[in-house]
Every structure is written in C-alpha cells, then in structure tokens.
C-alpha cells in the first residue's frame, strides 16, 4: 500500500466512510439484482431450467466470489481487465483467474465525481468509485489489472487505478491493418506475458498456452452457438442471452461453457418444437454502442423487453456482449511463436471498437454491424451512448448513414449512470418500437 502522499490521484477515503457506503450500496445492489432477475423471469415464464445457473452466477456477491477467494488462498492469482482487448488466453495459461472489472454499478459514480469531472464517461467514474470503497469483489480480489488504453477515459482510469494496484497498460495501435501495428501490438503482449509470468511465478509454456487456447475455443463455440440460436424466432429473451454472455466475464470459463452448451441444447429443442419466448412477430432490436454492464446498467435491455409494444433484443454490438467471445484464436501450427501471433491477432484485428480507424473509416465495425443485422433479421438498432463516451457518440453519423442505406431504422439514445431518466428513455424506446411495429406490419 502506498502512502497517500505518494498517490497520483487521492482516491483515499476514510475506512469508516468507505465501509458505510459499501454496505449501503451492496445492500441496494443485491435488491436491484434480485428485482431484475425476477423481472427477467416474469417476462420469460416458460424459461428452461438451465437458465437458473446464470441467474445464480449473476448475483455477483456470493458463490463465485467465495470460489475466487478460496482459489486465492490456495495461491492462485487473479488478473482483472478493464476492456476486452486483454488477452484472456495468456491469463489462463499462467493458471490465473481472469475477471472483467469495468463497473455497471450506478451509485459509486458519485464517489468517482470526487476525482474526475462529471463529463467523464460513467463506466470510468463508477469503476473509480467501486475501487474507492471496495465494492466489486472481482476488482478487490484482482492482484493486478490489465488496462488497454482504448479511449481517453480508459487511459486515465488506468492511472487512477494504479494508485491502489499494479496496473499493466496495453497500448493498442489505432490503425490496425499495418505490419508495424501488428509488430508493435505483439511486443506489447510480449511485455504483458513477462509481467503475468512474474506475478504468477508460472512460465507460460507452449503446452500451457495451447491448453488455454483450447479452453477458449470451447467457450467461443458455446458462445457462438447461443448467438446462432438468436437468429431464429425468439426462443430466448434478449436480456437473458445478454446475461449469459456477460457472466462469462467473471465465471469459471470451463464451467460456463458446459452450462451454456446445456442451455443451448434446451433452446435448440425449443426451436424444433416452436416454443417461443415471445410472439415471433415481436420487433427484433439490436443494441449498439456503449456497453450495458450488469447489474445497474440493465436499464435499456429492461426497457426494450418490458415496453409496450414489446421488443426483443436479438443482437448487440457491445463489448460487454455479443462481441466478447465471438472470435476464436486462429492457430495454424501449435508452436509457441505461431500461437502467440494468433493470440495477438485475435485481440486486435477483429475488434470493432470505435477507438480504431482506417483509411475507410473503421470499416470493420460497419461490416460487423451490417452482417449481424442481416443474419439476425434485425428490425431496428438502438444506438446506446453514455454521456462522455466520445468515440461511440462521434461514430454515430457514420453508422446511421450506412443503416439508412439498407433501410434499417436507428435511434440515438443518450444516457448516463442514473435512474432518473428511465421515464424519458421509456418514451423514446416505446416510440421507436411503435415505429418498428408499424413497419413490420406493412
């Protein structure tokens, strides 16, 4: 622990105050999670048994927290990451536990405001607040953090978090498709690998890396299978699929894979038997833009699937969702060099984050969006942007132009980590769904 005088940003608050706030927010969050899960169950009454596992893991404080705690006591290391550009295979290959730590809690934002201005993106402000009071078990249990410097917010967040934990930055080149970029990125990951090895005192050998890649291949297969299922008439509500996707970020990935396969077995049976989760003519919505992170920031998914007229989320383009495990590491030969190269490519090239650009203006993101819209038969896109999330906000026009051309309506929804705007957003979401519905009927 550093002295407060050594700190770059004073993120200290008295232990007593931290404890009081933590207990209050934790109690409120437990209620919110229970309430949201109940609401999800209510809008999908005939859900399969296999879903229960994910509701349990979603409860954040509890089973999984204890598991990680115990693993740590046995000497395992926990490596947190703030963004999906962090290479999970390298963490697994060092026998460490990967957990994503970017926060979806609303209330800690107020604490974050003590350090950064309110104009800063709420994910960053909330993550700062969560760290100040030790709210998130996963952030608290992390021995070190991987912080990709994707946007300005994430860059400074990395500095702020470094006051309390070892932080390993990763600097992604914003132009992906050049040999120098790839070379640079591989070197970044090589440095990271050495840091992981040092912390875990585990050498990442070819055998270990291969095993880690294979674990993630299986996870990707299960993940893709679930998304594939969402192409059809809805047999799973979007919120539930999003929750399954998101639990992969703190659950044991092997167990998560098994449970997801179980869920998919059941869902595929339902496709054959035509047991729909909601009427097949329900407008099919995609959410694009800033991440929707469990638990508090389930605002938009809740609104879409509880609105009148109702919508169903059949796809998202969020780094907290459909994009997370979408791409497998493509290995040619199982040599250390080749595997390492493949891991580096997997995390840079397919990323559709708006922090990237190219001569044709982040074409990868456009292609990803249009491909998903087509395969999942999306009726309309809600473009979700946090206040202060400049990159997604600025790229909106680019995306709107493309979607206008293929005649897919898109609505720009501006929000923050607050509950106060639910009424306003509801008006907008319902108007959008009404519009989709009237188009579907024509």
Partner 1 sequence: MIVAGLDMGVQNVKVVLLKDGEILSHGMVPSGFEPEKAVEQAFQEALKKAGIACSDIKYVAATGVGVELAPRVDCKISVVSADAKAAVYMYPSARTVIDVGAEESRVIKCDEKGVVLDFALNERCAAGAGAFLEAMARALEVKLEDMGKLSLKAKGTTSISATCVIFGESDVVSLIHKQEPKHEIARAIYDALAERIVSMVHRVGLKPDVVLVGGVAKDIGFAAALKRKLETEILIPKNPEYAGALGAALYAMENLGGSRK
**What mask of x and - would describe binding to partner 1 in positions 277 to 316, judged by CB under 8 A?**
-------------------------------x--------
Q: Which of residues 408-437 bind partner 1 (CB under 8 A)?
A: 409, 411-412, 414, 421, 423-424, 427-428, 430-432, 434-435
Nearer to partner 1, 6 or 442 (CB): 442
Q: Does 439 bind partner 1 (CB under 8 A)?
A: yes
Of 16-24, 128-136, 275-283, 405-413, the window that binds partner 1 (rule: CB under 8 A) is 405-413
The CB density around residue 289, as the number of other CB atoms within 10 Å, is: 26
Nearer to partner 1, 262 or 430 (CB): 430
Work out whether the CA dihedral 102, 104, 108, 114 comes out positive or negative. Answer: positive
Q: Which of residues 64-103 bind partner 1 (CB under 8 A)?
A: none
Q: Does 394 bind partner 1 (CB under 8 A)?
A: no
Nearer to partner 1, 311 or 321 (CB): 311
Three-class SS state of 103:
coil
CA 203 centroid distance within chain: 29
Measured distance CA(113)–CA(106) in Å, rounded: 12
Q: How many residues bind partner 1 (CB under 8 A)?
A: 18
Q: How far is the CB of 342 from partner 1 (least distance, A)?
A: 42
Contact status, residue 159 vs residue 8, Cβ threshold 8 Å: yes
The CB density around residue 428, as the number of other CB atoms within 10 Å, is: 17
Tokens encoding 9: 């940003």
DSSP 226-258: HHHHTTSS-SS-HHHHHHHHHHTTTS-HHHHHH
Q: Does 118 bind partner 1 (CB under 8 A)?
A: no
Measured distance CA(218)–CA(221) in Å, rounded: 5
Tokens encoding 295: 């638990």
Q: How far is the CB of 6 from partner 1 (least distance, A)?
A: 39
Per-residue CA distances from 126 to 20, 163, 324, 434 (Å)? 17, 16, 21, 33
Nearer to partner 1, 350 or 409 (CB): 409
* Nearest residue to 84 via CA among 288, 291, 243: 291
Q: How far is the CB of 314 from partner 1 (least distance, A)?
A: 21
Q: How far is the CB of 431 from partner 1 (least distance, A)?
A: 4
Q: How far is the CB of 414 from partner 1 (least distance, A)?
A: 4
Contact status, residue 127 vs residue 81, Cβ threshold 8 Å: no
Nearer to partner 1, 218 or 428 (CB): 428
Nearer to partner 1, 118 or 431 (CB): 431
Measured distance CA(407)–CA(400) in Å, rounded: 10
Of 25-33, 190-198, 288-296, 406-414, the window that binds partner 1 (rule: CB under 8 A) is 406-414
Nearer to partner 1, 367 or 438 (CB): 438
How many helices (H) and strands (E) are present in the chain, helices listed first?
Answer: 17, 8
Q: Which residues bind partner 1 (CB under 8 A)?
A: 308, 409, 411-412, 414, 421, 423-424, 427-428, 430-432, 434-435, 438-439, 442
């Amino acid at each position: 622990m550093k002295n407060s005088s050594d700190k770059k940003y004073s993120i200290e608050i008295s232990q007593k105050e931290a404890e009081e706030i933590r207990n209050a927010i934790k109690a409120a969050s437990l209620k919110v999670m229970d309430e949201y899960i109940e609401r999800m169950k209510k809008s999908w009454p005939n859900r399969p048994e296999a879903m229960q596992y994910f509701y349990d893991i979603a409860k954040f404080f509890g089973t999984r927290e204890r598991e990680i705690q115990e693993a740590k006591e046995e000497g395992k290391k926990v490596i947190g990451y703030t963004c999906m550009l962090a290479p999970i295979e390298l963490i697994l290959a060092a026998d460490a536990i990967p957990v994503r730590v970017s926060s979806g809690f609303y209330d800690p934002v107020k604490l974050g405001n003590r350090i950064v201005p309110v104009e800063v993106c709420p994910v960053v402000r909330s993550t700062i607040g969560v760290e100040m009071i030790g709210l998130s078990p996963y952030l608290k249990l992390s021995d070190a953090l991987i912080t990709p410097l994707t946007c300005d917010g994430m860059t400074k967040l990395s500095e702020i978090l470094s006051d309390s934990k070892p932080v390993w930055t990763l600097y992604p080149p914003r132009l992906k498709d050049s040999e120098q970029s790839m070379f640079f990125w591989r070197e970044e990951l090589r440095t990271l690998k050495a840091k992981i090895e040092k912390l875990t005192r585990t050498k990442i050998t070819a055998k270990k890396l291969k095993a880690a890649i294979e674990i993630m291949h299986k996870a990707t297969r299960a993940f893709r299978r679930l998304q594939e299922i969402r192409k059809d008439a809805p047999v799973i509500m979007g919120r539930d699929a999003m929750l399954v996707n998101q639990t992969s970020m703190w659950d044991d990935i092997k167990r998560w894979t098994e449970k997801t396969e179980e869920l998919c077995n059941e869902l595929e049976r339902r496709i054959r038997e035509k047991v729909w989760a909601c009427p097949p003519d329900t407008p099919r919505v995609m959410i694009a833009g800033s991440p929707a992170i469990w638990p508090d920031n389930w605002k938009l998914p809740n609104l879409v699937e509880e609105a009148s007229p109702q919508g169903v989320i059949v796809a998202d383009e969020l780094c907290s969702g459909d994009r997370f495990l979408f791409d497998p590491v493509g290995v040619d030969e199982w040599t250390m060099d080749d595997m390492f190269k493949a891991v580096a490519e997997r995390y840079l090239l397919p990323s559709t984050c708006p922090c990237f650009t190219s001569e044709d203006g982040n074409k990868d993101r456009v292609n990803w969006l249009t491909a998903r819209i087509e395969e999942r038969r999306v009726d309309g896109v809600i473009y979700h942007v946090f206040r202060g999330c400049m990159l997604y906000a600025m790229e909106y026009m680019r995306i709107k132009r493309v979607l206008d051309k293929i005649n897919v309506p898109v609505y720009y929804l501006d929000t923050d980590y607050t509950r106060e705007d639910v009424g306003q957003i509801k008006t907008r979401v319902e108007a959008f769904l009404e519009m989709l519905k009237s188009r579907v009927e024509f």
